[in-house]
Structure 1
Amino acid sequence: MTMQPAGAFAPLSSAVPSRLDDYINAHSFERPTVVLDTDRVRAQYHRLKAGLGRAHIHYAVKANPEPAILAALVAEGASFDAASRGEIALCLAQGAAPARISFGNTVKRASDIAYAYGVGVRLFAADSAPELEKIAAHAPAAQVYIRLLVGVSEADWPLSRKFGCDGAMALELLTQARALGLVPVGFSFHVGSQTRRAEMWAAPLAAIAKTWHAAQAQGHVLTLLNIGGGFPAFYGETIEAPTEYAANVMAQVDALFGAPAHIMAEPGRGLVAEAGVIVAEVLLVSRKSADDLARWVYLDIGRFSGLAETEGEAIRYQLETDKDGGPEGPCILAGPSCDSADVMYEKRPVLLPLDLVAGDRVLIRNTGAYTTTYSSVGFNGFPPLDVCVI
């Protein structure tokens, strides 16, 4: 069944391209598999690019590091936000130029900084003095941008506290970076993953702009603003079309920051989520008592094998079965492992066909982001999520 409200905008979700459905219908899958369509990645890249205009897209590799996706984006002219030595190596292996890679993690191993510098990466993120010292020691004269905390976020998946620093510290870090021989170029931030409406950027942007202008008032020459990610995918809640969404964000940026010389954007989910469909299977449909209002539906995939973002029921994936169209009833959706935390949706049960039984196929739409990367190596003996690229 599809949980799409009336009026929801889902140009890439309302009808999956025929080659994806045709492929799934023509094949059997012995275990959970995500089928990825690189054509959809390319299409979404150009939709976002049309709205972002002069901003440079640095794909957030962590969303899905599948080599075929990276290769497709390299061919389209994308740049990349890498969080580790491994992600940098993956990008380089697919033909990305080092100048198009930003080492965006603010917590880096010293040897990984040296590796990145050695292969030609010259742009690094930091949010503390000790991190700047590591960068200065192992990437001399590199460009750095300071990540700022975002205190207010309306995102479905906020990214607060762990990364970034407050405005006062950020100003100090700009000065320290220059004293260390580095080239401080600007700031970065992240409004939070799955920020469904562009208007939700208003408060974070206004707060970041205060620090931006304070830095300029102190004489710092700022040439880079990294607006991070937050671009949404369709999970059942209304979202704006990607081009209009991105253009709206850019209009806010220009109004508040005075058209910075260089703008980076780091879409991950918003670029690849709608390019993937997980093919899963029902293992069991049962009740805990004769008068239970909701059935328990156990799938062969759960929170430890690719659906980690159902934590707190934050991400509401769209489900379809071959039996859609008939009577439905509420279900608690759970995974296959022997861990009691392996429950995806219970507070807000999903509606599934009443005649659903073990062996039925379930398609989980828009699962191209943060599924393969969150899949365990084999918790409880269940294999990692398989990947098929078409």
Structure 2
Amino acid sequence: MFATQADFVGRRSVSVPSRVEEYIRANEFERPTLVLDTDVVADRFHALRAGLGHADIHYAVKANPAPEIIERLIDLGCHFDAASRAEIELCLGLGAPARAISFGNTVKRATDIAFAHRAGIVLFAADSEEEIDKIAAHAPGAEVYIRIVVTASEADWPLSRKFGCAPDKVHALLARATDAGLSPVGLSFHVGSQTRRAAMWVPVLNEVAEIWHAAREAGFDLELLNIGGGFPAFYGEDIEPPAFYAAEVMRLVGERFGDVPRVMAEPGRGLVAEAGAIAAEVLLVARKSETDTHRWVYLDIGKFSGLAETIDEAIRYQFLTDRDDEATGPCILAGPSCDSADVLYENRPVQLPLGLCAGDRVIIRSCGAYTSTYASVGFNGFPPLDVVVI
């Protein structure tokens, strides 16, 4: 269903579809399990497409590479942002056209660049001289966009300086790409993960627009602007609805960049997070001393088994239990592994029912993004996160 006028009013997003929660409540799980609903992914895609207008949506495959999600998005005409050869092979194997896939990682193995080029992929990211040289050698004539590191992010999870070049290197990299026989078509940036309101994009857009216009004035015929990800999911704090949010971002882009021929967006979390929930179980409830005001609640899932985004407590998941009609109190939430780093929330304790005890079921909402792929293969002998698609 396409976005309606109601999608553009300032209400907050629904966190997890009832179909997922009903499935979890109706079934038993021997170990932590992520349950996904691809209908929610499709609804979110339609909403973002309505707001983004002429911009191409390149789903960030790393957020959740479940084949059922990729297949659904292919059917909807979505494009894909791949970070590795394996993600490219996944998309191609499921029927995505090569020209609908961009190789967006700025750190690539030379043989993987050559593979992507042979497969028909034409669009590559770069942020350094050596990466440009590798692309020129192994994907001659390819289109490249230069990723810029941004400093003005207001996201809940700002990205580090690992990706992107400083503004003072942009012209030199564009020139190097031209001299190497590549087609330097544009620039890219990432506003930061979980940027909850469109207005938070303004400082970053101002920063990048200055670089964009300076490059065009210097004679570089830029035609592609990759605005990256940052599209939010609902984790308890109000966010703007996706169609409104996307439309507002595009309005802000238009004000600063003018009529850009090609715009790309790379939503990951914003497309799939709310499509999934994790079925988990309480393993232990304890207090460290008789005077402790906070209980410790240990779950059968932790940082190493899917909830890596609780690092620094940046992403605040929501929890449902079968005791939610009871009185609640603060608790420190931790995972099951024999590792002292496996504490999920301690600086800002979580409110959970006072009667919670071992064996109780817990549903963790908005877990469709960055959970199954973050789960370890078998740290402490705990298995990877199971995935069920309904």
Fold shared by both chains (TM-score > 0.5)? yes
Name the structure 2 match of 1:234: 234
Give, in whole Å, the separation in 2 of the partners of 1:8 and 1:296.
37
- Does the Cα contact within 8 Å between 1:59 and 1:266 map onto a contact in 2? yes
Within a 5 Å distance, the mapping from 1:303-314 to structure 2 comes to 303-314=303-314
- Does the Cα contact within 8 Å between 2:31 and 2:280 map onto a contact in 1? yes
Deviations 1:133-163 (A, max 9, x none): 0000000000000000111111111113100
Q: Secondary structure at the match of 1:284?
A: strand
Give, in whole Å, the separation in 1 of the partners of 2:221 and 2:275.
40
Opposite residue 349 of structure 1, the aligned amino acid is P
Q: Per the alignment, do residues 18 and 346 of structure 1 end up closer, same or farther by CA in structure 2, a change over 3 Å counting? A: closer
Name the structure 1 match of 2:14: 12
Q: Secondary structure at the match of 1:200?
A: helix
Q: Secondary structure at the match of 1:59?
A: strand
Deviations 1:195-236 (A, max 9, x none): 011011000000100110001101111110000000000011
How big is the shift at 1:17? 3.3
Give, in whole Å, the separation in 2 of the partners of 1:179 and 1:211.
21
Q: Secondary structure at the match of 1:304?
A: helix
Alignment pair present for 1:322 and 2:322: yes
Name the structure 2 match of 1:250: 250
How big is the shift at 1:9? 4.1
Alignment pair present for 1:102 and 2:102: yes
Residue ranges of structure 2 left out of the alignment (5+ in a row): 1-8
Opposite residue 356 of structure 1, the aligned amino acid is L
Give, in whole Å, the separation in 2 of the partners of 1:211 and 1:335.
44
Opposite residue 48 of structure 1, the aligned amino acid is L
Name the structure 1 match of 2:30: 30
Name the structure 2 match of 1:70: 70
Name the structure 2 match of 1:4: none
Name the structure 2 match of 1:376: 376
Opposite residue 79 of structure 1, the aligned amino acid is H
Alignment pair present for 1:43 and 2:28: no
Name the structure 2 match of 1:269: 269
- Does the Cα contact within 8 Å between 2:21 and 2:277 map onto a contact in 1? no
Alignment pair present for 1:219 and 2:216: no
Give, in whole Å, the separation in 2 of the partners of 1:83 and 1:293.
45
Within a 5 Å distance, the mapping from 1:147-166 to structure 2 comes to 147-166=147-166
Q: TM-score, normalising length from structure 1?
A: 0.97
Deviations 1:161-190 (A, max 9, x none): 100011220111111101000000000000
Deviations 1:6-53 (A, max 9, x none): x9944332xx43432332222110000000000000000001111101
Name the structure 2 match of 1:114: 114
Name the structure 2 match of 1:199: 199
How big is the shift at 1:269? 0.2
- Does the Cα contact within 8 Å between 1:156 and 1:193 map onto a contact in 2? yes
Name the structure 1 match of 2:4: none
Within a 5 Å distance, the mapping from 1:80-99 to structure 2 comes to 80-99=80-99
Give, in whole Å, the separation in 2 of the partners of 1:277 and 1:315.
14
Give, in whole Å, the separation in 1 of the partners of 2:232 and 2:300.
27
Name the structure 2 match of 1:79: 79
- Does the Cα contact within 8 Å between 1:57 and 1:79 map onto a contact in 2? yes
| Structure 1 runs of 4+ with >2 Å offset | 7-12, 16-19
Q: TM-score, normalising length from structure 2?
A: 0.97
Give, in whole Å, the separation in 1 of the partners of 2:311 and 2:34.
19
Name the structure 1 match of 2:339: 339
Opposite residue 310 of structure 1, the aligned amino acid is T
Opposite residue 159 of structure 2, the aligned amino acid is L
- Does the Cα contact within 8 Å between 1:151 and 1:160 map onto a contact in 2? no
Opposite residue 11 of structure 1, the aligned amino acid is S
Q: Percent of pairs identical after alignment? A: 66
Aligned-residue Cα RMSD (Å) equals 1.1
Q: Secondary structure at the match of 1:213?
A: helix
- Does the Cα contact within 8 Å between 1:332 and 1:350 map onto a contact in 2? yes
Task: Count the aligned residue pairs.
Answer: 382
Name the structure 2 match of 1:286: 286
Give, in whole Å, the separation in 1 of the partners of 2:312 and 2:167.
30
Within a 5 Å distance, the mapping from 1:120-135 to structure 2 comes to 120-135=120-135
How big is the shift at 1:259? 1.9
Give, in whole Å, the separation in 2 of the partners of 1:192 and 1:17.
26
Name the structure 2 match of 1:3: none
Give, in whole Å, the separation in 1 of the partners of 2:307 and 2:11.
23
Give, in whole Å, the separation in 1 of the partners of 2:10 and 2:334.
27
Give, in whole Å, the separation in 1 of the partners of 2:18 and 2:170.
49
Name the structure 2 match of 1:297: 297
Give, in whole Å, the separation in 2 of the partners of 1:93 and 1:23.
30
How big is the shift at 1:93? 1.2
Give, in whole Å, the separation in 1 of the partners of 2:196 and 2:320.
23
Give, in whole Å, the separation in 1 of the partners of 2:359 and 2:194.
32
Give, in whole Å, the separation in 2 of the partners of 1:352 and 1:231.
29
Give, in whole Å, the separation in 2 of the partners of 1:262 and 1:8.
28
- Does the Cα contact within 8 Å between 2:13 and 2:234 map onto a contact in 1? no
Give, in whole Å, the separation in 1 of the partners of 2:12 and 2:66.
24
- Does the Cα contact within 8 Å between 1:8 and 1:237 map onto a contact in 2? no
How big is the shift at 1:282? 0.1
Give, in whole Å, the separation in 2 of the partners of 1:279 and 1:75.
29
Name the structure 2 match of 1:144: 144
